[in-house]
Chain A
Amino acid sequence: MTLKTILLGAVSALAFSGVASAETLTIATVNNGDMIRMQKLTDEFTKKNPGIDVKWVTLEENILRQKVTTDVATKGGQYDVMTIGIYEAPIWGKQGWLAPLDKLSKDAAYDANDLLPPIRSGLTVDGKLYAAPFYGESSMVMYRKDLFDKAGLKMPDAPTWDFIADAARKITDKGSETYGICLRGKAGWGENMAFLTATSNAFGARWFDENWKPQFDQPEWKKTLDFYVKLMKDAGPPGASSNGFNENLALFQTGKCGMWIDATVAASFVTNPKESKVADKVGFALAPDTGLGKRGNWLWSWNLAIPAGSKKVEAAEKFIAWATSKDYLNLVAEKEGWANVPPGTRTSLYQNAEYQKAAPFAKMTLDSINAADPKKPTVKPVPYEGVQYVAIPEFQAIGTAVGQQFSAALAGQVTVDQALASAQQLTEREMKKAGYPKK
């Protein structure tokens, strides 16, 4: 008898649950440099807003996505402010999962018209803003000026894919572990498919035609994938099929890549002398095109949103207004310098002379973001929105499955034709299951 009592007592004494106070905002966010900085500046917000406490849940992107999706779909109410991508925002807005930010869009001091137009439009459904952008990014070419000089090449501001491929092959010197170009190869809808979908736009390809028929059996996709696989075989690093953003970042920072086409946010990493061996040798250019009118640059933003049915909407709105305001940018500049200000959300930032001076990549970032058009991403017409993704709920699963095929093609396990045929087949099957074309 005593043993049981002791054990029961021990268990229940240990397992008491925490009690939250009335106005504590629980904010879910991703583990990125800019968000960590926001977390460190929390005191500045609570000082101005007494009575509101802030609790942070910082997580790796994929875990965060799984958690907030579960919570928002079941109306679990665990979070008062969620960090969500520009992919989720319109889908969740349409589902009625998010509270519209009407107050913010009308607030003169907040100045929603200052938000960069492609990003604002990506977060708007039926004229309503559902999330406020915290930081935005596109993709661009980062290249090594010293290697280009050595090879007698000059990078234009707006290169073509033919130039990039030619330069990559010239720079490559496998003996000294210098590879002309590093590109994503790791399978995943947000990994290699972000890059390849954006690139395919420049080659005139599209995921679906106007009737939601998959297009992997079309010549444009074959051209895209052929080009990519051949280029990576000639001028890419070994084992590229397992490289994602971080792997390429490490390769570029240690001086092994002549060029790297990836997120604009990488610019601040590769030019940071504390981390990068090539910090003073990096140049930037727009993502390449093939002369068809679309560039292979994507558009992504991390945004703050309030789940529908939240009981703390007012406090949550206050926080979002603070974190995505012009004043916040000034605050970060004052505390950490202009180079560390979250980029890609406001036009006024790019007109600021001090910012332009501190961030050599500012102009290229702005041009890249403005060159992306999520409402009209492709050369041929499409029924979907999204540059490096298709803004439908099914895309995460389909994108990753197709990404696995393309990664296998890069690794040489299957041919380009086989990969495309499987991609076509699996996309047709999944789309049929999901009930497309929807009327």
Chain B
Amino acid sequence: MARKVSTQRKVAFTVMAWTIGFLMFFPILWTFLTSFKSEGDAIASPPVFLFFNWTMENYHEVQSRSDYFSHFWNSVVISFGSTLLGLLIAIPAAWAMAFSPTKRTKDVLMWMLSTKMMPPVGALIPIYLIFRDGGLLDSRIGLVVVLTLINLPIIVWMLYTYFKEIPGEILEAARMDGASLMKEVIYVLTPMAVPGIASTLLLNIILAWNEAFWTLNLTTSNAAPLTTFIASYSSPEGLFYAKLSAASTMAIAPIVILGWFSQKQLVRGLTFGAVK
């Protein structure tokens, strides 16, 4: 039987949860509000919260100055492309490590993760040179490859923990029935791990969408995603806070909406494997 929780406690926890939630959400809300202000209202002190002249001017300005849809499309291609490519490589890798571990599996996992420990700028010049010689600078395919490599360790780690939860006996049974390796992975393992794979997919799309080092440094115009779109509105000399907010709102809107609709899946996947 569940422990009785007093109403007082319930109320206290609810208030606390809402407060923390609001605090975390506040910067995004503030950006959203600022995007409807004039540049003058945006820097007003004390700040104005709701009672200002709402204007769409910033959105018009941003629309007329840059091609949002080309940036948006690049972001979609790069984040979805790199995540799908990553899954394609990571599913077999995680399968091998989860179901036929060797003495060195833990080391391999650690080694994969260690590639994330170096600051990315350390590899910028070599990668830039490789891209230059391969004609990959400012190309979507180049960015898909780089982001796949960047996020691969995380994908493998996440999948590995999900796969570990699946009893190996089920796969053995499939093998007894004469399933080939490929069939075993595709028809038995993958369907069982769907929640895990789905949340890995979503998390990596979000990570790739927001990746702002490689996407900024390896693109100029043709393959430039929304991160460069935002970067073109910030300025150390001149106040463009309202326009910058409008650009940021436009850049994060698609991914926020995607996250909103899939949050159930995301939470389920992220808690998958924990004690339920």
Q: A residues touching B (Cβ–Cβ < 8 Å)?
A: 1, 3-4, 7-8, 10-12, 14-18, 20, 26, 28, 30-33, 36, 39, 55-63, 66-67, 70-71, 73-79, 190-191, 244-246, 249-250, 253-254, 256, 263, 265, 269, 274-277
Contact = CB atoms under 8 A, between A and B. Distances in A.
Nearest to B40: A275
Nearest to B236: A61
Contacts, number: 141
Nearest to A26: B220
Contacts of A70: 124-125, 128, 217
Nearest to B143: A15
Given A17-B139, A79-B220, 12 more contacts: A7-B85, A17-B141, A18-B140, A26-B221, A36-B65, A57-B220, A59-B231, A60-B232, A70-B124, A74-B132, A76-B132, A246-B239
Contacts of B8: none
A78 B232 contact: no
Q: Is the interface of A mostly helix, strand, loop or mixed?
A: mixed
Contacts of A75: 132
18 contacts: A7-B84, A11-B85, A14-B81, A15-B77, A18-B140, A26-B221, A30-B235, A31-B234, A55-B220, A60-B231, A63-B231, A67-B217, A70-B128, A79-B220, A246-B238, A253-B239, A254-B45, A276-B40
Interface of B: 38-40, 43-45, 65-66, 76-77, 80-81, 84-85, 87-88, 124-125, 128-129, 132, 136-142, 144, 182, 186, 216-217, 220-224, 228, 231-240
Q: Max chain B CB contacts within 10 Å: which of A8, A26, A55, A275?
A: A275
B65 A39 contact: yes
A276 to B, nearest CB: 8
A10 B43 CA distance: 46
B236 A245 contact: yes
B77 A269 contact: no
A57 to B, nearest CB: 5
Contacts of B132: 74-77
Nearest to A20: B222
B139 to A, nearest CB: 3
A254 B43 CA distance: 8
Given A28-B220, A39-B65, A61 B239 contact: no
Contacts of B238: 31-33, 246, 249, 265, 269
A127 B272 CA distance: 69
B125 A74 contact: yes
A249 B239 contact: yes
Contacts of B222: 17-18, 20
